[in-house]
A = this chain, B = another copy of it.
């Protein structure tokens, strides 16, 4: 009764990373660098603040080099392996460029760096706005990294999921003006990241798509993904989008309100800078209180259910049936790439 392809998909837990990996015929190299210090911050429920304050005196030696205490030239350009942060103190605007080949998939390493980068900017009183974009061609971010879910211990899976939560919590409740400069496809976790921003500008390229397409792959967007989408496009559109795992092209995304503006691809970043000027014309204090008023109930819902949400994820992802499906899926990918 169920078409064969569904029998597989029904239990497959995959990241869109793999889909993009397939298209490009490669998987990103698993660079096993020593990131234990960074990861440790995410193991701690208290977040990154403690770590950052410890590290503030040696921030120029850290992997993320933007620092409010740095005696800085006009522009502080710093590059970490996965994220490039450029902070212009004259405008108060930082640009984060995701550059984790091939498709900016959200691995634990990536998320850790990302969260530390956001946290440092958040703590810098001079930084009022953040533009997030991609340095990778054709993709903003392909979402959660499947490799973080396969063959990992429950502890590691939990650590990964806490990092996903942390990314969302930091962005959705940021005091900065956040603008997503979506210069490529942005499925699943990439769409989530975009939706946390105050404003979304997408490249008007019909080949790009955006959406929470988890169900197409047999997995389920958790309640806080859902809440974020309901806040963005309303209940009914979210219901259909999530149940069908819909990916929208830019025109469709604009129509339903999933993005706010479409521009030619080479104007995404300049348009984001212009929009930022408009947002920064509003007094920070009034805007921040208003933003908190709009988003706090949604943020509080995850904050007060954070551990249970992690347990749910871990118990689901570590099931034998799910792991078996992942293995089959990965083997299929290897064959295709061979």
Contact = CB atoms under 8 A, between A and B. Distances in A.
Interface in A1-60: 1-3, 6, 9-12
Interface stretch (A104-112, A135-143, A201-209, A211-219): A211-219
> A interface, by DSSP: helix, strand, loop or mixed?
helix
19 contacts: A1-B90, A6-B280, A9-B283, A10-B285, A11-B285, A12-B283, A215-B290, A217-B286, A220-B289, A221-B290, A230-B235, A232-B235, A235-B294, A239-B294, A239-B295, A242-B294, A243-B287, A243-B294, A245-B282
Given A214-B286, A242-B294, 8 more contacts: A2-B128, A6-B283, A217-B286, A218-B283, A219-B286, A231-B239, A239-B294, A243-B279
A271 interface: no
Nearest to A260: B240
A338 interface: no
Range, interface on chain A = 35 or more
A221 B217 CA distance: 39
Given A1-B126, A92-B2, A236-B232, A220 B286 contact: yes
Interface in A240-299: 240, 242-245, 257, 260, 278-287, 289-291, 293-295
